Amino acid sequence: MSRFADQSLPRRSFLRGHFLNTLQSDQVKQQGHNAIRPPWADLTQFTEKCTACGKCQEACESRIIVRGAGGFPEIQFSQGECTFCQKCVDVCPEPVFRSTTETPWTHKVEIQQNCLLKQRIECRSCGDSCESRAIRFRPKLGGIVELVLTLESCNGCGACLSVCPTQAIHILKVNEEE
């Protein structure tokens, strides 16, 4: 049964039946209903000033920037991770990006209950792919390792999303005021 009352769906997602978990795409399950824009995107004016020219898609070295709804660029972590190369910012002719000295975005990961470690099955694929060491494993006497998630170290690159065999890692937007 879906948690329909707990969800705040955009109209497009509602009409596509995304209030039912079985009708959600893998991207929606991992990233949520709202599009994740390229790093350093100024979200307050992005859709007004972006011309959807596709130059950022062509420049992306890891090919995670795809054409989303309305032709606007969005991130699809199932393709890989963001390396924060800044090529999307450099190639864009429009003023839709913030300074690259700022934090690229406020996304963090969350580990769900279907994680293999929570089922007492050894898996370290997410930790192996996490360069920022936000996901680590602590040895435990008489059992399997314990997953330690340090959100302060997480840069939201998405490297752990595509390697998780059970899709137990979700990426969430954290409010900047917090």
Cβ neighbours for 71, distance < 8 A, ≥ 6 positions apart:
52
pLDDT digits (tens, 9 = 90+) for 21-57: 555 555 554 455 578 899 999 988 888 999 999 999 9
Residue bearing the bigger pLDDT, 83 or 1: 83
How do 107-111 and 135-138 pair as beta strands?
unpaired
Query: Can you give the pLDDT at residue 142?
Result: 84
Question: Which whole-number Å values give the CA distances from 11 to 8, 15, 18, 45, 135, in the listed order?
Answer: 9, 6, 10, 21, 34
User: Would you state the pLDDT for residue 5?
Assistant: 41
Segment 63-101, tens digit of pLDDT: 999 998 788 899 988 878 999 999 999 999 999 999 999
Q: What are phi and psi of 148, to 5 degrees?
A: -120, 120
